[in-house]
Structure 1
Amino acid sequence: MSTLEEGISAPRIAGGPGFRTKFHFDRPGKVLEPVRDWSLGFITGHRTRIVLCMTLAMVGLYLLQDFLWPVAVKPVSFADSLWGSASVVWLGAVIPGLLGLLGALSFRHPTHLDAVAPISQLVVFRIVTRGTNREAVASTIRRCVTEMERTPLFRYLVEIVIEDNPGVGDLPRGDDIRYLVIPRNYATANTSLYKARALQFALENSRIPDDAWLVHLDEETQPTSSGIKGIAQMIREEEESGRLRAGQGALLYHRDWKKHPFLTLADNVRTGDDFARFHFQHKLGRTVFGLHGSYIVVRNDVEKSVGFDFGPHGSITEDAFWALKLMEAGGRARWVDGYLEEQSTQSVGDFLRQRRRWYQGLMKVAIHAPVKLRWRLAIGANTLLWTLAPFAVLYTICHFFYGFEIQPWVRALANFSFASFVTLYLTGLKANLDEHGITGWLARSAWTAVQVVLLPVFSAMEATAVMMALLKPVNGFHVVKK
């Protein structure tokens, strides 16, 4: 047996038919009481909830506007009319909102994951880290091992790609854990930076076979039972069909809910967006909105066929760069059932800097990605629409003091856009409440009310990040503290 193969877990199946218990963690190493499997609460009502949420949000917005502006003020001068016409800035989210609604309505929470059978393929959880947050890395490594012991559906390795630093020796060791230490003088042919450099080093130096499947994890992204089952199901389907598509699923952000409730609520939109726009693009099989850098499931030889050596321009959002290169080369994408757990930022400053990096990185993808225009166009258009966010917020504030009657069609589309935004947050909130085990009606109602009340604050935060990117762009890759 080779060194690589030594200690690789043999597949076993946990539980049996009807096994529906999922364990939850509120901090590394602490197991809470088992709660009902996340999928059961959504069997019949997901689509109904989406429609109801959109309807109530639309009605609520009209009622609120009629209360705040009971008398429609007519513009009397050219300046008044010009200012009133500027209300079209509110329409920047109409197209993303519509596509997200289509994705959310087509989404189905799976009810079949407990029936997923073991597969023979080797699966490698690849964690990329600088090694500065050793506690987060160690927690993720331990969680990978623990979850695989509970749901052993495939042979696995945990592969940590880490910068050369003194802390490497303090991280967990085991037969199923491998370390790829990046030499300080390592450089790619195209001088790629940051995570792209690390991923390229892994492609060049990892000894895993070409037919192994990779699950990319950030240092704080941790697997769950449902995610492991979804990954096994996807790999079986892709191997049997021969399509070998890259996959991605939904991420949750509830792990530090008690410690950082405000920022956890702020990130619920990301889970909602996974069920919406990101699910929509994976139904199409094309990554028109980009790709998360974590929870990417891809076969090793497919990833190698593209690589990550995109140079400095492709080193800010290397995931989106890679996805477009894969699409142009004929690769396609798909949805993966089940959740993985992320962690929200720990400060508002990091939240803003994280979003600023995403905006700047996606803009670089739209401009510099070495693919045909048709592959860059959707990401470019979506990023340009995102650019309108701070101006929409500023216009809304000014409208309280200097506002006029809004054209009915503008008002209707603007309300639709914001209602879709509300729906993303509340959909993400429900999923995170379910996974965190908050089941009491009173507590869930309270969190829902807080989520709605804070929506203007979260909108302002998202818009501020874009304004920061426009007014004070930065070079480099800011690593947020988690």
Structure 2
Amino acid sequence: MSTGIAESPQAPSRHSVRLACRIGSWKPGIASFLIPLTLLLVLGMWFYSPSSTPLSWVLTIVWSLPIVGTLVGIQGALLIRRRARRGDEAAPAAPAHEDFLIALVPTIGRNDTYPALERSVRSYVDHLPAYFPHMRVDVLTEEGCEAAEQIAALARHPLVRVVTVPKAYRTPNGTRFKARANHYSHELRIAEGEALDHVWVLHMDDDTGVGTDTAAALAQFINRQRRAHPDEAKHMAQGILTYPRENAVSLFTWLADAVRPADDIARFRALTGTGTPAAGVHGELLVLRASIEATIGWDFGPKAIVEDAQLALTFCRRYPGRSDWFNGRCYGASPAGVRDFVKQRERWAWGLVALCFNRTIPLRYRWFLSVCVATWILGPLQHIAVVLAVGWCIGDMNTSPVAQSVIILWSVNFAYVIWTYWEGLRLNALVSKTGRRKWWEPVAVLALIPVFSVLEGVGGLRGFLKFARREENQFVVIAKPA
């Protein structure tokens, strides 16, 4: 049986070369924030009508609450622009000859997820060796999984190893799902003597690939740590998750997922990039020293279904100031349909709410995440359609805040939402084959923001309600497009 994976490194394709050039000149836009901010401020101040009704008080609070995350996100984008101006000071990308890279790819091993897994593994063996002459790809799966035979055949490539988690394996704290598999892999590295400072673990999802540009940015980061003073070297870093148009099954969910890469260049850049990943991290393009991962592990207990975020908050406490952000991209795929989109958000919210109430993590490390999650799960209740419906029912359609100055906060928040979808779409289009947005896509994504916010909010609210009802948590794995 052929895996479709070549056994020798591939020369960079023409698309990879063009993509690297496009990425090299990218930086977050400013006009896409300032223009809507100006319009919102002018309109808000012009139409302001004093009000002190209960509805106005509620809106003053809930529509102002996101300002914490907004300001952090703006900081992140500005930090990227500053680093771009200093780009000439950075050492050019070169192979990481003195370090060893393990690309870790957990998979549930279903037949409907295998095509995406093969696509992802192919990208690792094609693009990473040019910058990592010492590396391995560990495909992590469950004993007796549906696609076991196909997954086993991946190991025919000399750089690929299939690690099978035995059904009987249990962690001391009873951790389940993906975190259980990650912990098994972590214990295996310790047993094999790989929990070393010069060994880096690149955590990826089974539907997320890399390119030559990814390998170059990752090597540049790792080489920079080798040159740094031991007291200043970083132990963890996160890149940008993007969604090429070609990987999308549904254009609607592809547009809706424009918000995700924008979060990487905003909140994650600001917090993870300045050393304290208090907003959490995501499980793709997360690189961590094996020696540091060995001190944390993944045994967070049976309720852990956002294990990446919990790892990040634990890292905050143990290694403050030692994380970073790098301008590298990985290439994933949006959910195949609206139902999967909502299910995905529901699982995230479920786990994040539990994490916000986890008292084993000091409040100083989880308060920011708690504010962001609260804003998320309140989304459906503060949607403009719901607000207008409530106003109509109580006979008061005045939605002005209790003070005119609050209009400034609201304008900043709403302009930031517009910016996230605009810039996120720009990023996703940039990594697609054409390298640009189609003329109708910016129009569509802006027009559909109210719809996207409903889907995001419904998923968040459903996750919170399941947590509140103490329903059994599950790690829902959606189908992965090839």
TM-score by length of 2: 0.85
The answer to whether the Cα contact below 8 Å between 1:140 and 1:219 also exists between their aligned partners in 2 is yes
Given that residues 84 and 403 in structure 1 are in contact (C-alpha distance below 8 angstroms), is that contact kept between their aligned partners in structure 2?
A: no
Is the alpha carbon distance of 1:131 and 1:57 closer, same or farther for their aligned partners in structure 2, counting shifts above 3 Å?
same
| Unaligned 5+ runs, structure 2 | 1-6
Match of 2:57 among 70, 85, 94: 85
Of structures 1 and 2, the one scoring higher in RCO (CA 8 A, sep 6+) is: 2
Tell me the residue number matched to 1:4. none
Q: Does 1:97 align with 2:70?
A: yes
In the alignment, which residue of structure 2 is the partner of 1:198? 181
**Match for residue 328 of structure 2 among 338, 343, 348:** 338
Aligned mates of 1:418, 1:65 — CA distance in 2: 11
Question: C-alpha separation between the residues in 2 aligned to 1:391 and 1:405?
Answer: 14
Aligned to 1:160: 139
Q: Which residue of 2 aligns with 1:138?
A: 118
Residue in 2 aligned with 1:28? none
Q: Which residue number corresponds to residue 346 of structure 2?
A: 356
Distance 1:61 1:338, change over 3 A: same
How far, CA to CA, are the matches of 1:199 and 1:153 in structure 2? 22
Shift of 1:387: 3.1
Contact 1:125-1:158 within 8 A present in 2 as well: yes
Match of 1:23 in 2: 15
8 Å CA contact retained: 2:346, 2:462: yes
- Match of 1:91, SS state, is coil
Shift of residue 386 of structure 1?
A: 2.6
User: Equivalent residue for 1:215?
Assistant: 202
Q: CA deviation at 1:412?
A: 2.5
Preserved CA contact (<8 Å) 2:102 2:202: yes
Q: Kindly provide the amino acid, as one letter, of the partner of residue 413 in structure 2.
A: S
Aligned 8 A contact 1:92 1:389 in 2: no
What is the alpha-carbon distance in structure 1 between the residues aligned to residue 418 and residue 430 of structure 2?
18
Map 1:254-265 onto structure 2 (within 5 A).
254-256=244-246, 259-265=249-255
Q: Alpha-carbon deviations, 1:336-367, whole Å to 9, x = none?
A: 22111111111111111211211121122222
Give the alignment partner of residue 450 of structure 2, picking from 437, 456, 459.
456
Give how far 1:239 is off: 2.4
2:479: which partner in 1? 481
Rounded to whole Å, the distance in 1 between the matches of 2:359 and 2:150 is: 38
Residue 282 of structure 1, CA deviation: 2.2
Which string of whole-angstrom CA distances, capped at 9 and with x for unpartnered residues, describes residues 316-354 of structure 1?
111111112222122521012211111111111111121
Number of residue pairs matched? Answer: 444
Q: Secondary structure at the match of 2:95?
A: coil
> Match for 1:53 among 32, 54, 62?
32
Is the deviation greater in 91-100 or in 202-211?
Answer: 202-211
Aligned 8 A contact 2:15 2:433 in 1: no
The equivalent position to 1:129 in structure 2, one of 98, 103, 107, is: 107
1:69-84 aligned within 5 A: 81-84=53-56
Residues 87 and 395 in structure 1, CA contact (< 8 A), matched pair in contact too:
no
In 2 relative to 1, CA 210–64 (structure 1 residues): closer, same or farther, beyond 3 Å? same
Q: Partner amino acid for 2:118?
A: A
Q: 2:412 aligns with which of 412, 416, 419?
A: 416
Matches of 2:420 and 2:443, distance apart in 1: 15
**Aligned partners of 2:91, 2:274: CA distance in 1, in Å?**
26
Q: Is 1:316 aligned with 2:277?
A: no
Which deviations, in whole Å up to 9, do the C-alpha atoms of 1:382-436 show, x marking residues without a partner? 3223333222115444367442151422333112101101101111111111111
Aligned to 1:188: 171
The answer as to whether partners of 2:246 and 2:432 remain within 8 angstroms in 1 is no
1:398 corresponds to 2:378: no
Letter in 2 for 1:284: T
* Cα distance in structure 1, aligned partners of 2:466 and 2:141: 30
2:4 aligns with none
Decide whether aligned partners of structure 1 residues 194 and 369 sit closer, same or farther in structure 2, where only a CA change above 3 A counts.
Answer: farther
* Structure 1 residues 433 and 204: CA distance shift in structure 2, 3 A: same
From the superposition, tell whether residues 252 and 62 of structure 1 become closer, same or farther in structure 2 (CA, over 3 Å): same
Quick one: distance in 2 between partners of 1:405 and 1:182? Answer: 55
Q: 1:378 aligns with which of 365, 368, 381?
A: 368
Closer, same or farther in 2 for the Cα pair 1:244/1:210, shift >3 Å? farther
Q: Report if the CA contact (8 A) 1:123-1:155 is conserved.
A: yes
C-alpha contact (below 8 Å) 1:73/1:403 kept by paired residues: no
Amino acid at match of 2:420: L
The CA distance in 2 between the partners of 1:138 and 1:14, in whole Å, is 19
Q: 1:467 — aligned with what?
A: 461
Partner Cα separation in structure 1 for residue 461 and residue 210 of structure 2: 34
Q: Separation in 2 of the partners of 1:445 and 1:403? A: 36
Change (3 A) 1:269 1:183: same
Paired residue secondary structure (2:238): strand
State the one-letter code of the partner of 2:416. S
Q: Cα offset for 1:481?
A: 1.8
Q: Aligned pair in 2 of structure 1 residues 344, 64: CA closer, same or farther (>3 Å)? A: farther
Which is worse superposed, 236-245 or 112-121? Answer: 112-121
1:273 equivalent to 2:260? Answer no
- Bigger mean CA offset, 372-381 vs 55-64: 55-64
Distance of aligned partners of 1:307 and 1:257 in 2 relative to their CA distance in 1, 3 Å threshold: closer
Q: In structure 1, how many angstroms separate the alpha carbons of the residues matched to 2:311 and 2:248?
A: 36
In structure 2, distance between residues paired with 1:152 and 1:163: 30
The code of the aligned residue for 1:84 comes to S
1:6 equivalent in structure 2: none
